[in-house]
Chain A
Amino acid sequence: MSETTAEAEKAPVPATPSEPKDDQRWSQAMRDIVGGNAMISVLAVFLALVVGAVLIAFTDEQVQETAGYFFSRPGDMLGAVWQAVSGAYGALFQGSIYNFRRDGFLAGIKPLTDTLVYATPLIVAGLGVGLAFRVGMFNIGGRGQMLIAAAGAGWVGFALDLPPVLHLIVAVLVGIIGGAIWGGIVGLLKARTGAHEVIVTIMLNYVALYLISFLLRTPGALQAPGSNNPKTPAMKETAIFPDLLGPQYNLHAGFLTAIAATIFVWWLLNRSSLGFQFRAVGENPNAALVAGINVKNIYVYTMLIAGGLVGLAGVNQVLGTVTTGFSSGIDAGIGFDAITVALLGRSKPVGIFVAGVLFGAFKAGGFSMQAAEGIPIDIVLVVQSVIVLFIAAPPLVRAIFRLPTPGTAPRRQLPIVTKEVKAK
């Protein structure tokens, strides 16, 4: 049921009620599939890859050279375009899913596990942003929440001495609490003073950045002892997420927390009373208020949980991916990527999981594309943002591919009336 509610807030569907007769039902279903959301997502990814291909071809030196004599030998340029684009996307695939150049399946599949490593923080942070979306709030504060969480978890990770399993659990919890507090401030300010969460989260990002920068260069706080660099010492062995598939793969147990977080958010939104209130407030806060829901408290709870989830992404970074100590760039832009992940996943837990894996693949592949083909990884940012732009505007994608609008009946053929008959 909840799956349909989120759709209502998207672009307004023309309010022409269709009366599907029996023979029209199948064509109606076909139209809904072809013009529906899943199809739009696929086409948006496709369009974005096309845009990326154009950029890659346009800036390729070989293509530029051959374009000079395009009209005498057009095949040269087309060949160069093909080479540039297929080389780039081939490297992207080999860097993110399966590497054919390695021997055996076990070595070849390593890129896929890298993809999952990159996907882990994207998924949990995307869940945090998506949850806030469902309550009608905009959590752009991923960067700040991640930094505070990373600082908390990292401090526990390198400064405390605890028994193996307990150490990890305490570090994870402290990180989540750090993120939750940083998010909760936003919810509290929105609930009590009406401050717009977009502005407060953007500002808190910078406050967190400078706070962490200060702590990182202050001896005795986060700075590694005996060092002048703004960087923490390495995490202790006991606080690091264990490897899932053995030491030859990078995949760590943080991925399990991403799966757990996805199930938790699904349960929260679809099966719990609190989640029902969340969705009610997201649909219409005034109606929710009339129905007896304490909207202000819901805002605070939402931001607490959302901040905690985004914080978990920061925890994953320091305890799983970069365990040798972190600096103030530990968030690696994930806080902003999470927004695109949540949008691509349409704020639904499973959708976010899939979107997170996709963007994780882009990230993992982007690095190998940069190494192999010399194409800057910034192209991944372009592709991601173009995907989200297209996803956010389904009518645009439908217009490009001339797809029907779901929920509307096929246009009736007008009887052909020729004007010539009337002419005298």
Chain B
Amino acid sequence: MSVLTEPERPQAEPDNRAVVLRSWKAPIALAIFTVIAAGLFILGHREGTTRFQLSQGSDLIQLPAPELPTFATGIIITIVLALMTAFAFYRVQKYRRVPIWFIAVFAVLFMTGFLTWAAAGATVPVPGLLIGTVTLSVPLIFGAMGGVISERVGVVNVAIEGQLLAGAFSSAVIASATGNLYLGLLGAMVAGVLVSFVLAAFSIKYFVDQVIVGVVLNVLVIGLTSFFYSQVLTKDPGLLNTPPRFSRIEIPILGEIPILGPVLFEQTIIVYIMYVVVALVYFCLFHTKWGLRMRAVGEHPTAADTVGINVTGTRFWNVSLAGAIAGLGGAYFTLGAVGAFGKEMTAGAGFIALAAVIFGRWDPIRATLAALLFGFATNLQNVLGIIGSPVPSEFMLMLPYIVTIFAVAGLVGRSRGPAASGKPYIKA
């Protein structure tokens, strides 16, 4: 027998069977939220009843407004959350996943408990909360779609902010000067595409770091729009900066669904375009030749090139398309919401859209949901500010950003982007 043995391998060889990894992240996260719930709802004892207003006065079907006793509801919800957390631990113990719907139910319950607690002795206007959520999310969703397309094709799009701002500026000016809203929308798309052209030209042709180009483009667009705003727009605001606004269109039958009807189907045309864009991006990305080629270019450009896909062209035109979509989101700031253009009016929405892209793991539907979540957090802060909430509004505003940090740190779920995103393709 030889004394020499094989050096011990530090890790066992992975076998061919599918290995189900135990991930304790989900139950631990649920446990943290349960502890927060217990701390707020039970220790942060608030008396009174909370009224949930479910219908607006103009709705066809009027729902009753349930009144929940604040403290009792808090206790019940905390207990349910604790049971759900225990169940999640049990699932993971048995090497099974925690289903996504389970986490969704947990989130809704937590949110209900939080609203009940925060609005003790007051009324929560649920339709207002949700309508505001959609309103605030629209530019984020457009921006996120632009980000998803651009990053899926392999170009990191930090310039979403610039595309939104350029879209807002040009749509306001064009719609104001011509009086035609649709020309304004077109102008927003063209402006977004122009920003994208610079991004694409520098990152694809000159191999400049895409993040650098994106950051610099944001500064450039802020500088240009602010300069023209101060120098040109303020001198003749009547002609150049009083665009008409889109009016709300109610879709006949869908608009009468309780709660969701007014939220989703009593909106401006930009919101309806958004529904179409999200559906189209999802469908085209995963079910068409165009989407397959695009994803191939983003994941492995060399392989895509080998099978005859024009990598440079695919990237260039898809980044341009992304700019057009993000530009539409910019138009919502002026033609959909505020009307007149203001300096730096996008106020970081592009960066939140970027966060939504990553939080949504580069998937159009998930990115949309992430954008809605961010819009909800922002609007929740607005609503609670009116009711008078015990939580400082700044912490509510911080929430989306902290959630995103947790997301990219892999605590909520691993987010991995397209493999070749951010890398220039230099043809050998």
Q: Which residues of A contact B (CB under 8 A)?
A: 11-12, 55, 59, 61, 138, 140, 189, 193-196, 198-200, 202-204, 206-207, 210-211, 213-214, 218, 336, 339-340, 343, 375-376, 378-382, 384-386, 388-389, 392-393, 395-396
CB distance from A102 to the nearest CB of B (A): 28
Specify the chain B residue showing the minimal Cβ separation from A213: B394
Q: Interface size (B, Cβ < 8 Å)?
A: 44
Mask: chain B, 391-428; 1 = CB below 8 Å from A; 0 = not: 01011011001101100111100000000000000100
* A392/B223 in contact, CB under 8 A: no
Nearest residue (CB) in A for B408 is A195
- The answer to whether residues A203 and B223 also contact, given A11-B207, A214-B392, A339-B215 and a CB cut-off of 8 A, is no
Q: Determine how close the nearest CB of chain B comes to the CB of A88; give it in whole angstroms.
A: 11
Given contacts A210-B397, A384-B219, A392-B216, contact A59 B228 (CB under 8 A): yes
Interface membership of B53, Cβ < 8 A? no
Choose among B215, B358, B408 the residue that contacts A140 (Cβ–Cβ < 8 A). B215
Q: What 1/0 flags go to B359-403 for Cβ under 8 Å of A?
A: 000000000000000000000000000000000101101100110
* The 10 nearest A-B residue pairs measured at CB: A381-B223, A376-B230, A378-B226, A385-B220, A214-B394, A382-B223, A393-B206, A210-B394, A203-B401, A378-B227
A392-B231 contact given A189-B405, A207-B401, A210-B394, CB 8 Å threshold: no
For B215, the chain A residues whose CB sits under 8 A away are 140, 336, 339
Interface residues of B in 183-208 (CB under 8 A from A): 198, 202, 206-208
Q: Among the interface residues A11, A195, A203, A380, which one has the most CB atoms of the partner chain B within 10 A?
A: A203
Q: A55-B227, A393-B208 are in contact. Are A207 and B216 (CB under 8 A)?
A: no
Question: Once the chains are docked, how many angstroms separate the CA of A196 from the CA of B411?
Answer: 14
Picked from B219, B411, B426, the residue with its CB within 8 Å of the CB of A12 is B426
- Report yes or no: B348 in contact with A385, Cβ–Cβ below 8 A: no
The answer, yes or no, to whether B212 is at the interface (CB within 8 Å) is yes
Looking at the assembled complex, report how far the CB atom of B353 sits from the nearest CB atom of chain A, in whole angstroms.
11
The chain B residue sitting closest to A203, CB to CB, is B401
With A11-B207, A198-B158, A214-B395 as contacts: A385 and B219 at CB distance below 8 Å = yes
The answer for the CA separation of A77 and B285 in the assembled complex, in Å, is 52
From A193, A194, A396, contact of B206 by CB (8 A): A396
For B88, list chain A residues within 8 Å (CB): none
B208 touches A211 (CB 8 A): no
> How far apart are the CA atoms of A195 and B402 in the complex, in Å?
13
Pick the residue among B216, B226, B395, B405 that contacts A389 (CB under 8 A).
B216
Q: How far is the CA of A393 from the CA of B199 in the complex (A)?
A: 12
Q: 29 A–B contact pairs at CB < 8 A?
A: A59-B227, A193-B409, A195-B405, A195-B408, A198-B211, A199-B354, A203-B401, A207-B402, A214-B394, A339-B215, A343-B212, A376-B230, A376-B231, A378-B226, A378-B227, A381-B219, A381-B223, A381-B226, A382-B220, A382-B224, A384-B223, A385-B217, A388-B216, A389-B198, A389-B216, A389-B220, A392-B209, A392-B216, A393-B206
Enumerate chain B residues within 8 angstroms of A55, measured Cβ to Cβ: 224, 227
Are B404 and A203 in contact, CB atoms less than 8 angstroms apart?
A: yes
**Interface-centre pick from B219, B351, B354 (highest chain A CB count, 10 A):** B219
Kindly state the separation between the CA atoms of A336 and B397 in the bound complex, as whole angstroms.
22
Q: What is the CB-to-nearest-CB distance from B426 to chain A, in angstroms, rounded to a whole number?
A: 6
User: B408 touching A200 by the CB < 8 A rule?
Assistant: yes
Whether, in the assembled complex, B232 has its beta carbon less than 8 Å from a beta carbon of chain A, the answer is yes
Nearest CB in chain B: distance from A144 CB, A = 10
Query: Given B228, B230, B398, which contacts A207 in the complex, CB threshold below 8 Å?
Result: B398
Cβ contacts under 8 Å, B404 to chain A: 199, 203
Chain B positions within 8 Å of A339 at CB level: 212, 215-216
Interface pair B224/A389, CB less than 8 Å apart: no
16 more CB-based (< 8 A) A-B contacts, given A195-B410, A204-B401 = A11-B208, A55-B227, A194-B410, A199-B354, A206-B351, A210-B397, A339-B212, A340-B216, A343-B212, A376-B226, A376-B231, A378-B227, A378-B230, A385-B220, A392-B202, A392-B209
